[in-house]
Structure 1
Amino acid sequence: MSTRDKSQGDVGRRDFLKLFGVAGAAASTLPLGGSASANETVAPAIGKPRHHGTDAAKSHAGDWGYEFFNVDESGFIEAAVDTLIPSDSTGPGAKELGVANYIDRQMAGGYGKGDRLYLEGPFGEGTPEQGYQLPMTPSELIRAGIADVSVYVQKNHKSTFDGLSAKDRAAVIADLDGKKIELPTVPTATFFGLLLQLTIEGYFADPMYGGNKDRAAWKMIGFPGAGAMYMDEIEPFRNKPYTAEPKGIQDLI
């Protein structure tokens, strides 16, 4: 995700995230993909054992391991989300908050499998207003895009994406954003757009879906979370900043 000089009147990346978070965090108490079932999302968060891939993939993801990504793909995703939303003085980065886990769960679940997408032909290049036009599920798109970028990085940098320096990773991400890299299997803009969308979703979504660890993104923007009712707070906080420890969906169960 490209950043611009604030002196030119544009907002920086972190400012953008804070502005987005204020407007979108309420919607992000549910994943924006919107198609993962309760069984696919709630059970892992409350301690139901999940299936692991390799031990290496498990070490990437923490205690639960990855369900969809293999070890190479998980390394790519962790490096990508860390590049899109790095840690800085304002707040934690996407990797720290478990955004890669969020994306993995989405790809392994109904959304990634295209449960709510029309995937019959004919397929053709549509206008932006016509929405998604590919004969691939979101998980197929992400997997193919990762493979395409990995080949590009290996050819041009003799390295894996997660093996690049932070500066080189940022340069590759910027080139994807600017459509300066032509991917052979998937449209660059579509792949990068989905990767960015999922990263932002995972950063601000309710923690029960795998990202926003310890509700840190909500704390950063001052979002109170998924409170059931705020009527009793109106008078005490009238014309005053409302400060409260954010609560997720599971805190209300």
Structure 2
Amino acid sequence: MFDVRRRQFLAGTATLIFTATSVRAATIAGRLPWAPNAGDPPERFKLGPWEFFTGDEGRAMEALADCIIPPDAQTPGGKDAGCAVFIDRQLAGPYGRQEGLYLHPPFQSGAKNQGYQSDIGPAQTYRAGLAAIDSVCKERNSGKAFADIPVGDRILFLKSLEVGELELRGLDGKSFFAQMVRDVQMGFFADPIYGGNRDMVGWKMIGYPGARYNYLDWVNRHNERFPLPPVGMTGNAQWTRS
């Protein structure tokens, strides 16, 4: 995965914004479901705490997000795009609580084509997985957590996790890594109302117009950049920290 060109990798996964996990709908009127960017550490933007992650988990997730989607000269990476905030909000909500899913034994092993199967759910998986990653890093790096080791060492660590060479205690590390990649990708391309895709950086990168009321005149105009800025579900052309 790390050998693929960054923009090809991201553009190829943009359709993930249409395949997010289904959850029960709720009516929201006159407000956002949470404060914009509320997951950012207070020392950077003076905003509120994480909804699900502890401080250490949040630091680890931001470092992981920046490895999965590294910044370049044109586009922020996963950390500054708010991907960790997106995941934090999902884990704090119905997705993390597994609402609408079967949660009681007996459990049966799923077929390989059904993907990774677990009875502990996303929230517990992330809690265990991030703790295990930091634990292994501290053992190998004189007590330093994942967020504290050099970027090059982070990449080597994740490459070993990706191919199954590195084991995490009590968890399928390879499957957990694959899940993090998918979730970070969704955070990069989801509507900013969910905490990620800050300033609509993902949409701007691929030229996606967002939730505009009508752009039928452009549907058949292939390989042309849409000339207007993207619009989120709130109707704002820009998503800012103000």
TM-score band w.r.t. shorter chain: 0.7 to 0.9
Contact 2:36 2:195 in 1 (8 A): no
The alignment of Structure 1 onto Structure 2 pairs a total of residues equal to 234
| Residue in structure 2 matching 1:250, options 231, 234, 237 | 234
Task: Give the partner amino acid of 2:184.
Answer: T
2:176 equivalent to 1:176: no
Q: 1:190 deviation in Å?
A: 2.2
2:7 equivalent to 1:14: yes
1:150-180 deviations in Å (ceiling 9; x for gaps): 1111111121110000001111111111111
2:75 equivalent to 1:97: no
| Residue in structure 2 matching 1:33, options 10, 16, 21 | 21
Contact 1:61 1:101 in 2 (8 A): no
| Residue in structure 1 matching 2:104, options 120, 123, 131 | 120
| Residue in structure 1 matching 2:33, options 39, 43, 53 | 43
Structure 1 residue aligned with 2:56: 72
Listed as ranges, the matches of 1:194-213 within 5 Å are 194-213=179-198
1:50-108 deviations in Å (ceiling 9; x for gaps): 7x9xxx95447751320111111111001110111110134211111111111100010
SS at match of 2:33: helix
| Residue in structure 2 matching 1:137, options 121, 137, 158 | 121
Listed as ranges, the matches of 1:214-229 within 5 Å are 214-229=199-214
RMSD: 2.9
Structure 1 residue aligned with 2:240: none
Q: 1:119 deviation in Å?
A: 2.0
1:104-155 deviations in Å (ceiling 9; x for gaps): 0001001011113222223354332234421102000010011111111111
Q: Which has the higher helix share?
A: 1
Contact 2:23 2:94 in 1 (8 A): yes
Contact 2:191 2:232 in 1 (8 A): yes
Contact 1:145 1:183 in 2 (8 A): yes
**How many percent of aligned residue pairs carry the same amino acid?**
33
Structure 2 residue aligned with 1:7: none
Whole-Å separation in 2 of the counterparts to 1:191 and 1:234: 38
| Alignment gaps of 5+ in structure 1 | 5-10
Structure 2 residue aligned with 1:3: 2
Task: Please give the TM-score of this superposition, normalised by the length of structure 2.
Answer: 0.85
Q: Compare relative contact order (CA 8 Å, sep 6+) and give the higher one, 1 or 2.
A: 1
2:177 equivalent to 1:192: yes
Task: Please give the TM-score of this superposition, normalised by the length of structure 1.
Answer: 0.81
SS at match of 1:92: coil
SS at match of 1:142: helix
Whole-Å separation in 2 of the counterparts to 1:238 and 1:149: 44
SS at match of 1:169: helix
Task: Give the partner amino acid of 1:12.
Answer: R
Change (3 A) 1:46 1:70: closer
Whole-Å separation in 1 of the counterparts to 2:25 and 2:50: 18
| Alignment gaps of 5+ in structure 2 | 237-242
